[in-house]
Chains A and B, each alone.
Chain A
Amino acid sequence: MRTARLVLLLAAAGAATPAAAECVALTGARLALTGAEPAPGTLVLDGARIADAGPAARIPEGCRRIAADGRVVTPGLIDVSSSLGLTEIDLEPVTADQDAGGSDPVRAAFRVADGYNPRSVLIPVARAGGLTSALVVPAGGLVAGQAAWVDLFGATQREAVRRSPAALVVALDGPAGAALRRLREFLEDARLFASRRAAWEQGQSRQFPWSRSDLEALRPVIEREIPLLVGADRAGDIEALLRLAEEQAIRVVVRGGAEAHLLAPELAAAGVPVIVDPLVYGPGSFDQIHARPDNAARLHAAGVTVAISTFSGHNLRKLRQLAGNAVRDGLPWAAAFEAITAAPARIFGMERHGRLAPGSVANLVVWSGDPLEIDSAVLSVWIAGEPLAPRSRQTELYERYRSLPGTPPAALPLPD
């Protein structure tokens, strides 16, 4: 059987798209299996899915073999607090679809998936950095709206959006007591609304200070289908949030969590995951006075599920640097890598993402070395089993200006 070399394949990436359901085996790779550091193994793809992965992976008859030559192959990276595809340029409101706006701080029915732009030029930039999925989140207000899980692939929302809603996004801005009071009232009204829906339709229920669609949007939260994704840094705010979660029997995920390490045992006991930025160190805000560089390490050691996010749209490619810094400050490598792959997938009910395991989505990255190390490069990114060259508007700019003057182009010859 003929074995292609991975590097050769990469040169032709994009042009040489494997046919649907084609079997491809990456042999001689170093695979980052969940919970472990990269180790030798073979990865077998069956079209858009992973068929097998590991040192003893079975390669079916007739499967196309590609020699990975010891390259590190990992699941694609996942950032679960992003504005990717929602905001093209932060300071230009015409490019922004992240904030529903308006004077009502409750926008539970606002779905960012409807404004997701799969043609955003930010997406190829993120993908070139090894990202293959993101949770794109709304912003603004107390209840910002519904987050969506997207794969960084496809020209339509239909192809890109894999789950919506994937979470309901809340921010504890201002006095936490005031925010939590409103939330509690909203949750209780939503339960009442759900149980008296018929009476409400006939005008035989009391009126609610929330719109019908906002009340309906809380149903999957109340039924624990999706978590409330709550921005909070201060330990006291997180503590109050844990009380709300217990009392309302809802799932919550903490986003930010600069001081979460102070409540690590409580978060572990409540099974509440935390999404952190390990670079937030130092009292940047008054709510972050106790931020520590080993926040992620301490949370992990206590048994808390940790995900790492850039909380950005333009800087997703920094995700691996963030994870590397968490390792620098005490988080085991495998836990840090899990925090940007399998853990965020698990948190948002996307268990077939973020893992090199049979049945998982074939979202992969091939690296020149340790993916968390600065001098490692992304060699190729595969989404749903398709290799994509790490190209973007930025690589085009680089090529245009590789030699000067770059622009303007030379004069055209006269027409015939």
Chain B
Amino acid sequence: MGGAFRSLVALAALPAALTASFGDGEPPRSRAQVEERAHRGSEPLPADPAPAFVLRGGTVLTAAGSRHEPGYVVVSDGRVTAVGPGEPSPIEGATLVDATGLYVTPGLIDAHSHLGVYPAPDFLAHADGNEMSAPVTAGAWAEHALWPQDPGIELAVRGGVTSMLVLPGSGNLIGGRGVAVRLVAARGSRAMRFPGAPDVLKMACGENPKRVYGARSLAPQTRMGNVRGQREAFFAAARYRLEWDHWFDRADEREAAAASRRKGRAADKPPELPPLRDAGLDTLAEVLDGRVLVQWHCYRADDMLDAIQVADEAGFEIRAFHHALEAYKIRDILAERQIAVATWADWWGFKIEAFDGIEENAALLAEAGVRAVIKSDSAIDVQRLNQEAGKALAAARRSGLPLTEDQALRWVTANPAWALGIEDQVGTLEPGKRADLVVWDAHPFSVYARARWVFIDGRLRYDREREGRPWSDFMLGQQAP
């Protein structure tokens, strides 16, 4: 997965003259080029200076198996360069930041967010997260709905969140692409994209799609209809992918024909037309190629098993089930298949497919070797993901499951990083990782803990002692109390 995507990134870095020669009017020559064109941005990425600094004196929780009390983290050029116990050796030019009595963790990652696509306040005209005009809208991208002025984004940063996965809603069988973003202020969503992160596909099983379309007497109305809709979408995608692969494979042939035409050989055929482009099938073809990661909303154990069958038949892997309140019932199967589970600490019961939720879900999954993730799916809970992880840990210990602090911290750091396909860049405090750090004024699993400082890529993005004007334009000029 990673390799193919990196080549796409490399393509994006080609000199303008070379890429311009492809010309957007020209049919694409490869799937990578299809994706590269769809991902071009116009806004330069944020480029604040990245200071060199050393956080010292605090308790460092690495989410990579270590707790240094006290410990230090060295940051340079936006990256973590060293982490360890005790005191660091002096580093020339690096500012010493005293974190005595404080706790340092990786930046939190929310693997399931609708910030920006269902922004606050809940204006009707801002409900941009569910394209419920058809049950399969794989060509819709959450990124194109993400409003960077959502006031909730800054509130999430204050809660220590530094990256998140913004997903389309679950009204559709296949809702569209989700996007991993950095929680930075930007004028457009593209500048928030997590560099190099793969896109994801949001799928949904169970009650939601059949309720949305069933109410309109359209398909799907049943779980049978759900599975049928998903299978058929991938049948179409398989055919589409073959058609385009066939086209890409014959690039040389077409070049030769074009050259021949340029030389005026009248006997040559007219230029061959490419297959019809379809944004949704482009997405599903990427799924079949393994470059778009599938994030599947699913509550019930049997629904998840059906989803696994759909994936097996179509030939793709499921990266993570989301919500998955009954995942604990099939944790052996999920572990064997390396499917992550993004769930809540204690939500349950709001619908019948959520009736069997238990507080030990994440812990039982972790014990079985599944990458468990605690996510918010909420503009409120994203502000205290640390507490949510703490609750799930407390529930585990109450029931006698021997989970560690590090394991629970991974539920909101390393494991969501894996679910998003950015585990080589963030999620733990280790040399080489992006310097996304949260410094807390108490143990992050305490209800009383607040983020003191939040760093993203080594830049200080939040300081509780220096709160300024709100990031969101919307909040400007709203009468202060």
Within 8 A of B (CB), among A290-335: 290, 292, 313-315, 317-318, 321, 324-325, 327-328
Chain A residues near B121 (CB, 8 Å)?
A: 283-286, 288-289
Contact (A282, B399) CB under 8 Å given A315-B347, A375-B390, A375-B393: no
> Which of A88-96, A217-225, A247-255 participates in binding chain B?
A88-96
CA distance A122 to B450 in the complex (A): 32
Q: Contact partner of A404 among B331, B351, B390, B447, CB < 8 A?
A: B331
A406 within 8 A of B: yes
Decide if A366 is an interface residue (CB 8 Å cutoff): no
The residue on B at minimum CB distance from A261 is B481
Within 8 A of B (CB), among A256-294: 261-262, 279-286, 288-290, 292
Stretch from B167-175, B380-388, B413-421 forming part of the interface with A: B380-388
**Stretch of B50-58, B193-201, B358-366 that contacts chain A:** B358-366
Q: Is the C-beta of B394 less than 8 angstroms from some C-beta in chain A?
A: yes
Whether A373 sits at the interface, judged by CB under 8 Å, is yes
Binary CB contact string for chain A from 114 to 132 against chain B (1 if under 8 A, 0 otherwise): 0000000010000000000
Residue A397 at the chain B interface, CB threshold 8 Å: yes
| Residues of the A chain whose Cβ atoms lie less than 8 Å from the Cβ of B234 | none
Beta-carbon contact of B332 and A404 below 8 Å:
yes
In the complex the two chains form, is A401's CB within 8 Å of B364's CB?
yes
B446 touches A285 (CB 8 A): no
Instruction: Give the residue name and chain of the A residue nearest to B450 (CB).
Output: A328
> CB of B348 within 8 A of chain A?
yes
Give the chain A neighbours of B481 by CB distance below 8 A.
261-262, 290, 292
Task: Check if B447 sits within 8 Å of A89, measured CB to CB.
Answer: no
User: Does B321 count as interface, using CB distance less than 8 angstroms?
Assistant: no
| CB-based contact A282/B387 at 8 Å | no
Known contacts A261-B481, A285-B121, A397-B358; is A374 also within 8 Å of B349 by CB?
A: no
A286 contacts B123, CB within 8 Å?
yes
B384, A325: Cβ atoms closer than 8 Å: yes
Give the A-B contact count at a CB cut-off of 8 A. Answer: 119
Complex CA distance for A325 and B390, rounded to whole angstroms: 14
Contact, CB under 8 Å: A282 / B447: no
The answer to whether A372 and B447 touch (CB under 8 A), given A281-B383, A282-B379, is yes
The answer to the question of A3 belonging to the interface, with a C-beta cut-off of 8 Å to chain B, is: no
CB of A156 closer than 8 Å to a CB of B: no
Q: Which of A283, A285, A286 makes the CB contact (< 8 A) with B151?
A: A283
Decide if B478 touches A289 in the complex (CB within 8 Å): yes
In the complex, are the beta carbons of B358 and A398 less than 8 A apart?
Answer: yes
In the complex, the answer to whether B445 meets A89 with C-beta atoms within 8 Å is no
Is B448 in contact with A282, judged by CB distance below 8 angstroms?
no
**CA A322 to CA B95, docked complex, whole Å:** 38
Across-interface contacts of B313 in A (CB, < 8 A): none
Contact present for B449 and A328 (CB under 8 Å)? yes
Shortest CB-to-CB span from A96 to chain B, Å, is: 12
CB distance from B181 to the nearest CB of A (A): 18
B43 within 8 A of A: no
B262 at the interface (CB under 8 A from A): no
Assembled-state Cα–Cα distance A394/B358 (Å):
6
Chain B residues positioned under 8 Å from A286 (CB to CB) = 121-123
A375 pairs with B445, CB closer than 8 A? yes
Q: Are A282 and B349 in contact (CB under 8 A)?
A: no
A179 at interface by CB-CB < 8 Å:
no
Q: Which residues of A contact B211 (CB under 8 A)?
A: 91
Whether A398 pairs with B360 at a CB distance below 8 angstroms is yes
**In this assembly, does A377 line the interface, its C-beta being within 8 Å of a C-beta of chain B?**
yes
Q: Which B residues, 209 to 231, have Cβ-Cβ distances below 8 Å to chain A?
A: 211
Contact of B447 among A284, A327, A377, A405 (CB under 8 A): A327
A284 near B390 (CB under 8 angstroms)?
A: no
Size bracket, chain B contacts: 35 or more
Q: Contacts of B379 on A, CB cut-off 8 Å?
A: 282, 284
Residues of B within 8 Å of A313, CB to CB, are 349
B351–A90 contact, CB under 8 A? yes
Instruction: Please report the total number of A residues contacting B with Cβ < 8 Å.
Output: 44
The minimal Cβ–Cβ distance linking A341 to chain B, given in whole angstroms, is 17
- The answer, yes or no, to whether B207 is at the interface (CB within 8 Å) is yes
Contact B123 A282 (CB under 8 A): no
With a cutoff of 8 Å between Cβ atoms, the chain B residues found around residue A404 in the complex are: 329, 331-332
A122 touches B120 (CB 8 A): no
Give CA–CA (A318, B447) in the complex, Å.
Answer: 12
In contact, B349 and A122 (Cβ under 8 angstroms) = yes
Residues in A whose Cβ lies below 8 Å from that of B390? 374-375
Beta-carbon contacts under 8 Å, A368-415 to B:
372-377, 394, 397-398, 401, 404-407
Q: Provide the residues of chain A in CB contact with B364, threshold 8 Å.
A: 401
Contacts of B384 on A, CB cut-off 8 Å? 279, 325
> Which residues of chain B from 331 to 369 have a CB within 8 Å of any chain A CB?
331-332, 346-352, 355-360, 364
Given A91-B351, A375-B445, are A283 and B475 neighbors across the interface (CB < 8 Å)?
A: yes
Option from B122, B359, B398, B479 in Cβ contact (under 8 Å) with A284: B122
A317 in contact with B346 (CB, 8 Å): yes
Q: B447 near A324 (CB under 8 angstroms)?
A: yes
A-side contacts of B351, CB under 8 Å = 89-92
* Contact partner, B120, options A282, A321, A407, Cβ 8 Å: A282
Determine the chain B residues whose CB is within 8 A of the CB of A406 once the complex forms: 329
Q: Is the CB of A374 within 8 A of B380?
A: no
Q: Which of these, B123, B352, B380, contacts A279 with CB under 8 Å?
A: B380
Asked if B328 and A89 sit within 8 Å, CB to CB, the answer is no
Tell whether B135 is near chain A: CB-to-CB under 8 Å.
no
* Contact flag A282-B152 (CB < 8 Å), given A374-B387, A375-B390: yes
Task: Please measure, in the bound complex, the distance between the C-alpha atom of A120 and the C-alpha atom of B211, giving whole angstroms.
Answer: 25
Question: A279 vs B390: C-alpha distance in the bound complex, in angstroms?
Answer: 16
A262 CA / B481 CA spacing, docked (Å): 6
Q: Which residues of A contact B381 (CB under 8 A)?
A: 279
B391 within 8 A of A: yes
Which listed residue (A279, A314, A375, A377) contacts B348, Cβ 8 A? Answer: A314
Neighbour of A89 across the interface among B349, B393, B397, CB < 8 A: B349
B307 shortest CB reach to chain A, Å: 19
| CB within 8 Å of B: which A95-124 residues | 122
B64 at the interface (CB under 8 A from A): no
Residue B155 interfacial (CB < 8 Å): yes
- How close is B475's CB to chain A, nearest CB, in angstroms? 7
Bound complex: CA of A88 vs CA of B394, how far in Å? Answer: 26
Identify B448's interface contact among A279, A280, A328, A405, CB under 8 A.
A328
Nearest CB in chain A: distance from B398 CB, A: 5
In the assembled complex, the CB of B244 is this many whole angstroms from the nearest CB of chain A, namely: 41
Distance in angstroms from B137 CB to nearest chain A CB is: 23
* A245 shortest CB reach to chain B, Å: 22
Contacts of B331 in A (CB 8 A): 404
A146 to chain B, nearest CB (A): 25
Bound CA span A292–B351, Å? 31
A318 touches B346 (CB 8 A): yes
How far, in angstroms, from A398 to B348 measured CA to CA in the complex? 14
Closest to A259 in B: B481
* CB contact under 8 A between A397 and B447, given known A283-B121, A286-B121, A290-B478: no
Question: Given contacts A284-B122, A313-B349, could you give 20 more A-B pairs where the C-beta distance is less than 8 Å?
Answer: A88-B349, A89-B350, A90-B351, A91-B350, A122-B349, A282-B383, A283-B475, A284-B380, A285-B120, A292-B481, A318-B346, A321-B447, A324-B447, A328-B449, A373-B446, A374-B394, A375-B394, A375-B446, A394-B359, A397-B356
**Can you list 23 pairs linking A and B with CB atoms under 8 Å apart?**
A89-B351, A90-B349, A122-B349, A279-B380, A279-B383, A279-B384, A282-B152, A283-B120, A283-B475, A285-B120, A290-B481, A314-B349, A325-B387, A328-B450, A375-B394, A375-B446, A377-B394, A394-B357, A394-B358, A394-B359, A401-B329, A401-B364, A406-B329
User: 5 closest A-B pairs (Cβ-Cβ)?
Assistant: A324-B447, A314-B349, A91-B351, A374-B390, A90-B350
